[in-house]
Structure 1
Amino acid sequence: MSSKYRTLVALSHAVPVPALFALDDAQLAALWLNHGAMRDEAQEMFASIRLTAGAFLDRDLDRLDAVAAPQWAVDADARLAAHLAAAGLSSADVLAVRSSGGIEDGAAHSFAGIFESVLHVEGMAALKEALSEVWRSAFSRRAAVERLRCGLLDAPLEMTVIVQRMVAARWAGVAFSHDPIDGRPEMLIEAVQGVGDALVSGAAASQSVRWSEAGLVGDAPLRDAQEMLVELAAIVRTVEGQLGTAVDVEWACDGERVWVLQGRPITSLHATAGDAAHAEWTDLYLAADEDIAAFRPLPGFANYFRSKRRPLALLAHAHGVASGTALLVRGNAGGFEDASRMQALCARFGEDSVVLDFSDGLRQQVLPTGELASRLRQVLGAKPSTFVIRDYVRGDWGLITQPTEDGGVLCECSADGLLAINRGSAQTQAFVIGSDRQVSGAQSAAAAPFGAREREQLHRATHAAVARFGPVQLEWVTGAGQLRLIDFSPIKSLHVAQGDDGHEEDGRRTISPGFAHGAALVVPADRHLEDISIAATVSISHMPSAESLGPAIVRLAERARAGGGSMIVVAPRPYAALAALIPYVSGFVFEQASMLCHLAILLRESQVPAVASRALYARGLEGESLTIEARAARTSRETA
């Protein structure tokens, strides 16, 4: 049973607690035929949010909403009647059905108000509906976002449901043994006349009283109900002694006695001045170091963006090229309560969409700029967070460029966008801008979207970047006639494949040179695989482990290991997540592939042969053994 239920049972030996019982997962599984399937489906969605660092949060939340409803067993009514009778209750009683989640009421995170409660439940049909509603609140949108905000996506999906006699309350509310704001050892009581959930939910204005050195002070008529308040104070001190810490107690009084509905630690007791309203920002790339000092310590991703992209932004500025916009933000919920402050932040972005990097668990979220305010209100808490917001420049084309040994620049472009090129899901075209800034006739069609001015900028900035940073490839977006330099990636060699657009006479395109022969390891087209490849959780600077990318990649790696290292991966695209298979296979065959995507870079650095060939790909799907003979490419420059 959950800690919340165990706490209530333990407290019932010392203070008045209404008759109750609880249904844990094992007992609910006896009531619902599809309990395991519902739980597994919801857990899979949490795993997806974790694996992709929330990059597809709204879509995953929609899938959580669509989890099937419980299918009741034929003997469910009889089982519930037995549980009620064992607790001295019946379906004729007025009941309250409350949550008791495994992550509720912890010392650090209370999850107060996140899960559902259903009051005034009468009759077996209403009880069954309430049980379903409360249990499903464990994976509601609100619960998923709170788990994400608290870094608890990996916590087990556990929800014990408490069924309790409903108190016919004349007064109800919350009593704090210490002031929850400043921690002073003064009891604070807030209450409403009637049912207390109106107070907890904020639906009703409360009255409050406080015991201070000056005695009992506060609002009448609550202050005048002194007999009830004295009884309540004694109960709160008893609960505090039982739990061994400052507590808040949900209570109700029916005119005869005060009942305890819940007791838990005060998670806000150690609030500090740092929790005061806070909202400030500065330019992440171009601000001076002294302007960044107030935001330190920076999260790892902000440090990464700052250290890598600031030099690139300065280089772009020096060569007359626009760069990406990013703001470093520090703030909390209180700081952005003022709508004008939130509007001022959103106004800093000139694109229709932004990218939010909020925490290690919530990365690379692409949002319409108009929805940024609502998302921040979802994830900001009382303590200030430091995070990054970037313009998302979708543009008309994404490009990646590398210098060639003869003074030109190899360009690979796609209307699918820069991110799709990087992570291997794009359809690409390639062309070379010569040292004279011209493009050969056979490649003119691919270069058509880029005029003479853009070709000059691509050529000049690409060579300047290599002179400044060493062997790198540059990442660009273009739209409305303007190029933007977004990022760069260090590489060990600057690669140029043979032939026009890298194609050999038989239509094959060399991605990484070498020879390999082996059985096919087929990777089907998979949206989940694409999601993982796009998400920020896939490192593009080193080889990821299969275990870090989830069960689908683990299963592929196990098959590759069983093949003794000789199998050849057959995949529709060079998805970035497939990098985890590189140590266990002899080669890769793609239906279509980019030469400059991240997987292609890792394949060449690891000297694993790879080709794009529709014919070989089709043979691999048929289960045939494959042979890769990929011609060595010309390389402009290599590093140790």
Structure 2
Amino acid sequence: MMQEKDEKMECTLDIIDFKNIGEANYGSKFTNLSILATSGINVPYAICISSNLLEKEIEKYLVNKDEFQNYFKDIESTSGCYLLDTYPKIERMISGFHFSNEGKEFILNNVVEKFADYNVIDFAIRSSAIHEDDKLNSFAGIYETLLNVTFYTIIKSLEFVVVSYYNYRSMIARIRTGNYSYKIEMNIIIQKMVKSKISGVAFSKSAISKGQPIVEWIYGLGELLVSGEKEANVYYPNQYVESEHNELLDEVIVNIKKIRNILGYEVDSEWCYDGEQLYFVQARPITDIFAIGQPIDNIFEIDRLYFDTNLEFENKLLQCKNIYRGYTSKRSPKYMLAKKNNIQTGKGYVIHFNFKGLKKNKAKIEEICTGNHFEKFDIDVDDTIRQNIIRKNFLWDYLKTIFGGYDESLKHTMIIREFISGEMGCISHLLENGNVYVEYSTDGLLTMNRGLAKCESLIINKDKTDTYQFSGEYWNDIEYFTRILNNPSIMIEWVICNNQAYFIDFSEEFRIAEMSIDDCSNRVIMPGNVSGPVFYMKNTDIMNKLSLSPGVSVHDINEKIVHNPKFEEILAEIKQLDDKPILFSEKPYAVLSLFFDDVKGFVFKSSSLLCHLSILIREAKIPTVVCKENFDTYACNCREVMIVNGDVKPI
């Protein structure tokens, strides 16, 4: 049935055993097993399929490799904001993965050659990712292990493990370490299955055993212990507990000391006993000797995002420290002032927990999801997964997916804010003459800030001689709080929901420039005279997506955005021009600020005077106008134009 192995594939060492591992990176899991097996520790025989072979097989399978790669770059450039939208596209591309006929033959030929009893034994299929079981990240429980696999189901089992590398939980775990690679960085171990009667985990050092080794064990398969399905028996030296298995457990302790000396660091190792021999099937660095053998405490604490100010000193922020500072350093004083003046604000929470505490306090999670009229939360997990918008009724499932794959004792912090979409977004601004200028849009506040909304405007005169164009108490609140803040350099952001104005945030303009506030067809965002070639930016989809990502704020844009492939294409087109252009864009996308060094001016078809890009344009003093009537004519038919006194003229 089997054919001769392909000599070209064999010479690449795409499948190895313990004896020929060499210097290549086959993951800490297989490397450690190889070291132990060649140092006298009893390890069940295994071979390892390299990530190199798996990567080649995935490339053969994928219809469009570039599209697959770009999805991962998209996630990185938008700080994980669109992960929930992008992941299903990745899943559709990889879910049906299968090995090529050549790949199947190569793998099965190796199994036949290296396992003499291949057709009568069972196998364990385990991951050995390059980033797994190291001293920084264990990724314990993240990747799939399949047991009792027969020779005839090996290929299907391997395909399942490959696909699982790209499941949502696995991707989240890698992204949280800053790994956005589309390539499979996982090797796969095919190991002889041990029919264990007793199994467990041994630690070379533990606080509970006063620095001595400690052994946890159960009857049956060890997977039931490491998965938490069975409670462990605990044994350590000088415990003086009589057991029929003390001799075996002492042998485990002797071996775990040897393993520590062989690897050169404190280890935890999975072991099993088949009634005749003791085997070790995994060894990795210990991450916390004080947690071993100790009961796991429930950790679950909720603080108010803008009003509880001692969180940094209590060491609760962990991976959310920078995000917390970004939210509170600017907003907290204004939120407190709003509360003092009976101005409504959305709720925000900082939740510090471990997964055991999270499960125990599911009712508290449900409690913060009830009340008010807001159906969604905006969630920050860390710098890599930002501003995921989750419906409240799906919050628990989302949290289980994000945090459920980790050790239950591991501490986390997340920031949850009510996502108030409302019926209308508003931005108010106190003019130098004492009037209040307001822009508003039913497209919502976020799209207004990022330059995507169709906005209208009104002016509230300081002498109250005008009549408001709309009824509603919220206009009174907007005017009142804008005057309380009494600062012509800030733009105050609101959401109108159920006839109430909610203060959300504010933006500050560091160098105030003249704004032209009128209803003529051309509106001046920044005056100035300039000429240059026309560059019409037509790729609006990517501008929309990048502008809405959490990596964009009024005075800060995540540098990863510039590595988005579609963004790079646009920038390359601009740089190829002989002269810096006048950039024509239908909307003032926030991400256009990254083009400031490469353009002379901007012409928009529609715009807001108070959106983020307009603020930055005035600070940078880049001539910019809104040209409603002739935008299409100039953008499509003119090679060069000039901006003169707030008007656009062809050259």
TM-score by length of 1: 0.85
**Aligned counterpart in structure 1 of residue 506 of structure 2, from 461, 484, 488:** 488
Partner of 1:638: none
Partner of 2:108: 81
Relative distance call for 1:521 and 1:4 in structure 2 (3 A) is farther
1:52 pairs with 2:75: no
Comparing 160-169 with 32-41, greater Cα deviation is found at 32-41
- SS of residue in 1 equivalent to 2:552: coil
Partner of 2:15: none
Shift in Å, 1:9 = 1.4
Gaps of 5+ in 2: 1-25
Q: Provide the C-alpha distance between the structure 2 equivalents of 1:233 and 1:192, rounded to a whole number of angstroms.
A: 18
* 8 Å Cα contact 2:45/2:192 also seen in 1: yes
- SS of residue in 1 equivalent to 2:603: strand
- SS of residue in 2 equivalent to 1:145: helix
Shift in Å, 1:131 = 1.3
* Alignment-mate amino acid for residue 518 of structure 2: G
- SS of residue in 2 equivalent to 1:363: coil
Partner of 2:426: 399
Partner of 2:392: 369
Q: CA-to-partner distance for each residue in 1:461-511, whole Å, 9 max, x for gaps?
A: 2233234xx5111101112111111111111326543531xx32xxx4433
- SS of residue in 1 equivalent to 2:476: helix
1:202 pairs with 2:228: yes
* Alignment-mate amino acid for residue 451 of structure 1: S
1:98 pairs with 2:126: yes
Q: CA-to-partner distance for each residue in 1:516-547, whole Å, 9 max, x for gaps?
A: 43334343344443232222212321466576
* Alignment-mate amino acid for residue 490 of structure 1: E
Relative distance call for 1:539 and 1:479 in structure 2 (3 A) is closer
Q: Provide the C-alpha distance between the structure 2 equivalents of 1:316 and 1:106, rounded to a whole number of angstroms.
A: 48
* 8 Å Cα contact 1:509/1:613 also seen in 2: yes
Partner of 1:637: none
Partner of 2:53: 27
Relative distance call for 1:87 and 1:32 in structure 2 (3 A) is farther
Partner of 1:259: 279
Q: CA-to-partner distance for each residue in 1:411-442, whole Å, 9 max, x for gaps?
A: 111111101100112121122222344658xx
* Alignment-mate amino acid for residue 333 of structure 2: P
- SS of residue in 2 equivalent to 1:419: helix
- SS of residue in 2 equivalent to 1:557: helix
Shift in Å, 1:209 = 3.7
Shift in Å, 1:580 = 0.7
Partner of 1:340: 363
Relative distance call for 1:200 and 1:46 in structure 2 (3 A) is farther
Q: Provide the C-alpha distance between the structure 2 equivalents of 1:330 and 1:87, rounded to a whole number of angstroms.
A: 50
* Alignment-mate amino acid for residue 170 of structure 1: K
1:127-166 to structure 2, matched below 5 A, reads 127-153=154-180, 157-166=184-193
1:460 pairs with 2:483: no
Partner of 2:615: 601
Relative distance call for 1:490 and 1:335 in structure 2 (3 A) is same
Partner of 1:539: 553
1:545-624 to structure 2, matched below 5 A, reads 545=559, 550-563=564-577, 566-613=580-627, 617-619=631-633, 622=636, 624=638
Relative distance call for 1:452 and 1:8 in structure 2 (3 A) is closer
- SS of residue in 2 equivalent to 1:103: coil
Relative distance call for 1:95 and 1:546 in structure 2 (3 A) is closer
* 8 Å Cα contact 2:99/2:159 also seen in 1: no
1:246 pairs with 2:279: no
* 8 Å Cα contact 1:592/1:612 also seen in 2: yes
How well do the aligned residues superpose, as a CA RMSD in angstroms?
A: 3.3
Relative distance call for 1:382 and 1:538 in structure 2 (3 A) is farther
- SS of residue in 1 equivalent to 2:614: helix
* Alignment-mate amino acid for residue 563 of structure 1: L
- SS of residue in 2 equivalent to 1:435: coil
* 8 Å Cα contact 2:543/2:589 also seen in 1: yes
* 8 Å Cα contact 2:77/2:561 also seen in 1: no
Q: Provide the C-alpha distance between the structure 1 equivalents of 2:558 and 2:634, rounded to a whole number of angstroms.
A: 25
* 8 Å Cα contact 1:437/1:452 also seen in 2: no
Shift in Å, 1:153 = 4.4
- SS of residue in 2 equivalent to 1:104: coil
Relative distance call for 1:191 and 1:403 in structure 2 (3 A) is same
Q: Provide the C-alpha distance between the structure 1 equivalents of 2:295 and 2:581, rounded to a whole number of angstroms.
A: 56
1:113 pairs with 2:113: no
Q: Provide the C-alpha distance between the structure 1 equivalents of 2:440 and 2:283, rounded to a whole number of angstroms.
A: 60
Partner of 1:409: 436
* 8 Å Cα contact 2:351/2:413 also seen in 1: yes
* 8 Å Cα contact 2:530/2:642 also seen in 1: yes
Relative distance call for 1:189 and 1:271 in structure 2 (3 A) is closer
Relative distance call for 1:282 and 1:319 in structure 2 (3 A) is same
Relative distance call for 1:80 and 1:619 in structure 2 (3 A) is farther
Q: Provide the C-alpha distance between the structure 1 equivalents of 2:417 and 2:364, rounded to a whole number of angstroms.
A: 18
* 8 Å Cα contact 1:5/1:22 also seen in 2: yes
* 8 Å Cα contact 2:215/2:253 also seen in 1: no
Shift in Å, 1:585 = 1.0
1:499 pairs with 2:518: yes
- SS of residue in 2 equivalent to 1:336: helix
**Aligned counterpart in structure 2 of residue 285 of structure 1, from 293, 300, 306:** 306
1:18 pairs with 2:44: yes
- SS of residue in 2 equivalent to 1:264: strand
Partner of 1:513: 527
* Alignment-mate amino acid for residue 9 of structure 1: S
Comparing 524-533 with 624-633, greater Cα deviation is found at 624-633
Q: Provide the C-alpha distance between the structure 2 equivalents of 1:198 and 1:345, rounded to a whole number of angstroms.
A: 34
The count of residues paired between Structure 1 and Structure 2 equals 610
* Alignment-mate amino acid for residue 289 of structure 2: L
- SS of residue in 1 equivalent to 2:139: coil
Q: Provide the C-alpha distance between the structure 2 equivalents of 1:399 and 1:113, rounded to a whole number of angstroms.
A: 46
Shift in Å, 1:399 = 0.6
Q: Provide the C-alpha distance between the structure 2 equivalents of 1:375 and 1:180, rounded to a whole number of angstroms.
A: 35
**Aligned counterpart in structure 2 of residue 325 of structure 1, from 343, 347, 371:** 347
1:166-205 to structure 2, matched below 5 A, reads 166-179=193-206, 184-193=211-220, 195-203=221-229, 205=230
Shift in Å, 1:16 = 1.9
* 8 Å Cα contact 2:79/2:549 also seen in 1: yes
* Alignment-mate amino acid for residue 426 of structure 2: L
* Alignment-mate amino acid for residue 486 of structure 1: I
* Alignment-mate amino acid for residue 244 of structure 1: G
* 8 Å Cα contact 2:312/2:321 also seen in 1: no
Shift in Å, 1:249 = 1.6
* Alignment-mate amino acid for residue 576 of structure 2: A
Shift in Å, 1:114 = 0.7
* 8 Å Cα contact 1:280/1:331 also seen in 2: yes
Q: Provide the C-alpha distance between the structure 1 equivalents of 2:295 and 2:250, rounded to a whole number of angstroms.
A: 35
Shift in Å, 1:315 = 3.4
Shift in Å, 1:353 = 1.7
* 8 Å Cα contact 2:586/2:605 also seen in 1: yes
* Alignment-mate amino acid for residue 100 of structure 1: S
* Alignment-mate amino acid for residue 144 of structure 1: M
Relative distance call for 1:613 and 1:34 in structure 2 (3 A) is farther
Relative distance call for 1:109 and 1:212 in structure 2 (3 A) is same
* 8 Å Cα contact 1:81/1:91 also seen in 2: no
* 8 Å Cα contact 1:180/1:266 also seen in 2: no
Partner of 2:9: none
Shift in Å, 1:593 = 2.5
Partner of 2:17: none
Gaps of 5+ in 1: 218-222, 441-446, 634-640
- SS of residue in 1 equivalent to 2:155: helix
* Alignment-mate amino acid for residue 344 of structure 2: A
- SS of residue in 1 equivalent to 2:501: strand
Partner of 1:390: 417
Partner of 1:443: none
Relative distance call for 1:386 and 1:94 in structure 2 (3 A) is closer
